[in-house]
Amino acid sequence: MKKVYGPMGLLAAGFLACMLLLLVFSRSAAASPYASTVVHLPFVTSPVVPTESYETDFENSIEPWKMVRWQKGGSYDLDHDSGCDNGHCGILELDVDKEETYAIASPLILGPNRPYVIEFRAKLDDPKDKHQYGVVLGADWNDGGCPGDNTDSCFNHYYEFRVRFRDEGGEKYLEYRLRRVDGHDGNNVEEGKDLVEWTRVTVNGVNAEDWNKWSVRYSSRHNFTFKINNDELGGSAEDSKYDDPLYFGVMARASENGDARAQFTSFSIAIDQ
């Protein structure tokens, strides 16, 4: 007797045939040396590579420098002056407009490995006693927005080389200090320790109110040394807490004697051969 399949029977038979063909094909593909294999690779971001050198004279612009940290309650400005001052043309100006506060600016470029040297030429515009300028080095950044909403994404720790102008009864001179900043309080006031306490510059021919060239060297043995106008300065320090390739910048600080304007006409950081 001849069997007759209805529509449902034909559909079931077709499904079984397709499954059989799929099974045969998968087995033959697995046995073939040319069978393709899908490999899922992890997503890897490109690492930030430390620079071997960075140099600017601020003649045409101060880009990409920006404000990265400041003390709460203050008022700050970061500006470019394209004019000339005593033969130096192009100036980054960092204004701190409230007493006893500070501000830091940076290009957010990863610095080189040790040993390296930072050189910068700077002065204070219309300085008053205890006004300060300087550089920061060994600063952190988590690659997020800098500064973040709570200024906690970058420059939470760093070394700070400060220069302080003094005017004691008409006697004007400069002094310097190296400080390690390990954190900040709720108002972004630095917390840390002095590695080199305030030391007076005794080099002959230094004009405390004019441009001076400073050098801060961080050696392969974690030793800090300093120069002014290519003359060695006394005082050194050894510290290795923040010795990885990290970020750098410049700073200004006002004293109890009013607002301050720090001016920088050149800045460089490079591997020290």
Strand partners, 119: 215, 268
Average pLDDT, the chain: 85
pLDDT of amino acid 150: 61
Both tokens of 116, joined, read 């390296």
pLDDT of amino acid 1: 40
What is the per-residue pLDDT across 25-57, written as a single tens digit (0 to 9) for each? Answer: 444 444 444 343 333 333 333 456 788 899 999
For residue 129, pLDDT over 50 is answered with: yes
Both tokens of 120, joined, read 């910068």
Other residues' Cβ atoms within 10 Å of the Cβ of residue 62: 21
What is the per-residue pLDDT across 241-256, written as a single tens digit (0 to 9) for each? Answer: 998 889 999 999 999 9
Both tokens of 200, joined, read 């007076």
Residue 75 — pLDDT band, cuts 50, 70, 90?
confident
Task: Tell me what percent of the residues of the chain surpass a pLDDT of 90.
Answer: 71
* 190 touches 182 (CB < 8 A): no
pLDDT of amino acid 28: 45
Other residues' Cβ atoms within 10 Å of the Cβ of residue 48: 11
Could you tell me the pTM of the whole model?
0.81
Give dist(CA 62, CA 112) in Å, integer. Answer: 21
pLDDT of amino acid 7: 40
Give dist(CA 245, CA 112) in Å, integer. Answer: 5
What is the per-residue pLDDT across 155-198, written as a single tens digit (0 to 9) for each? Answer: 999 999 999 999 999 999 999 999 999 999 988 999 999 999 99
182-208: b or e for each residue (b if 16 or more CB lie within 10 Å)?
Answer: eebeeebebebeebbeeeebeeeeeeb
Give dist(CA 82, CA 94) in Å, integer. Answer: 14
Residue 213 amino acid letter: K
pLDDT of amino acid 149: 64
Residue 119 amino acid letter: E
Domains with residue ranges and CATH for the chain? 53-271 (2.60.120.560)
Give dist(CA 252, CA 49) in Å, integer. Answer: 28
